[in-house]
Each structure stands twice: as C-alpha cells, then as structure tokens.
Chain A
Amino acid sequence: QQQVKQSPQSLIVQKGGISIINCAYENTAFDYFPWYQQFPGKGPALLIAIRPDVSEKKEGRFTISFNKSAKQFSLHIMDSQPGDSATYFCAAPWLGGSARQLTFGSGTQLTVLP
C-alpha cells in the first residue's frame, strides 16, 4: 500500500499569482506521477504528469517539480487565473495485485480571486 500526503488542503491566490501544491509519497519503484484537475460536478481529468528521471516538466503555465531523494513532487501554477479554480489531486503509483494502481492525495481546493 502507498500513502500520499498532499498539502495544503485549500489555497486562495490572487489572479496572476503563483499557486503551489505539494505532495509526498512513501515508496514507489515506478515511473509515472500524474496530477489531476477536477471541476465541481465533473470527474478528475489528467492535467500533467512526470517521470521521476527528470526533475521538472513544464506545460504552459503548469510545472511539476520532482525530488526523488526527498520523495516529494509539487505542482506550480504560474499566472493563476480564475478558470484554474478547481480541486487538484496528485497521485503516486504502486504495484498492487495484478496491476499498478494509483494512490491519490487528499486534494487541494484552489480558489483564484479575480
């Protein structure tokens, strides 16, 4: 079993600011750490993912930083916009039973003020 600790639980930033969400995992030998974005009334959708053989991945305003030795990874949202207001989940893989499974963090509710 895998545990993933995500912080903060909620985050309020001003438009144009930087949003930072952190996650820590216990153990994994695998190669895919995704972040999901969820809007109210919808299912989570993949936002961005990183392989642990790189320390950073950037897609537009979204960047994942990965610290393998510390077993931590974080999501940075640059120039945050009101449309980014959503709940964000990190996830870490582990091998359980017949397939790799994802353990999700508890989520961060982001509010970007206009």
Chain B
Amino acid sequence: NAGVTQTPKFRVLKTGQSMTLLCAQDMNHEYMYWYRQDPGMGLRLIHYSVGEGTTAKGEVPDGYNVSRLKKQNFLLGLESAAPSQTSVYFCASSYGDRNQPQHFGDGTRLSIL
C-alpha cells in the first residue's frame, strides 16, 4: 500500500518557469491538501479539496493553482515561479475532516533560482 505519493521529489526551476506537482493517494480518501513547509514556520495550507472536482483556498494560496479531476489525484501548479516559492511541498489526504488523521507524502523539494 503506497499511501500518498508525490512526484517529483526534487526540482530546480528558474524564476518565471511553470511546473506542476502531482499527488496521488490510494486510500480512497475524500479530502486532499497541499502544504508548504518553511524553516521555523511549520506547515501552511495552500489549497485543499473536499472531493473530486472541488478545490478551495487555504492560508497561503497566492501564486498557486490546483485541480482535482480524479479522486485519487491532486495537482498543484505554479504558473510563474518566484524565489519566494522555494520550499518543501507536502501533499496530504484524509478520510474526512472530523477527527481524521491526515496522511502525508514525503514531499517535493523545490528551489526557484
């Protein structure tokens, strides 16, 4: 059972380039989340989805877009990468939002030059 799989694991971009981070879960979870992790700041929610075809903004959504075309996949896009988006990005999924643990992938380390 793979759980939550994120691709790629590492990526270096130049300012202004675009890219998409892919998250896939095999637990049939309804809820999926994208976080960024920066030193000393914990995990901050970027966007989330409560089911296939839905997306919603989290705490720090600017500069990112997401899509959930299939229940098992949640994509995070950077349209025009900026150095401030250098971070480690984590995807998570959960069965629900009440008393349900979030299961995290191992992250994508993204550097914007």
Residues of A within 8 A of B (CB): 1, 4, 6, 9, 30-32, 34, 36, 41-46, 49, 51, 89, 96-107
On B, residues with C-beta under 8 Å from A are 4, 31, 40-45, 48, 50, 54, 56-59, 90, 92, 97-107
CA of A4 to CA of B98, assembled, Å: 19
**A44-B43, A89-B43 known; A101 vs B106 contact (CB < 8 Å):** no
Contacting pair B56 A104 (CB below 8 A): no
**B42–A104 CB distance below 8 A:** yes
Contact B97–A106 (Cβ < 8 Å): no
Q: Are A99's CB and B104's CB within 8 A?
A: no
| Interface pair B56/A44, CB less than 8 Å apart | no
Residue pairs across A and B with Cβ atoms less than 8 A apart, 28 shown, are A1-B59, A6-B42, A32-B98, A32-B100, A34-B101, A36-B104, A41-B106, A43-B4, A43-B104, A43-B105, A43-B107, A44-B43, A45-B104, A46-B101, A89-B42, A89-B43, A96-B58, A97-B56, A98-B50, A99-B48, A99-B56, A101-B48, A101-B59, A102-B45, A103-B59, A106-B40, A106-B42, A107-B40
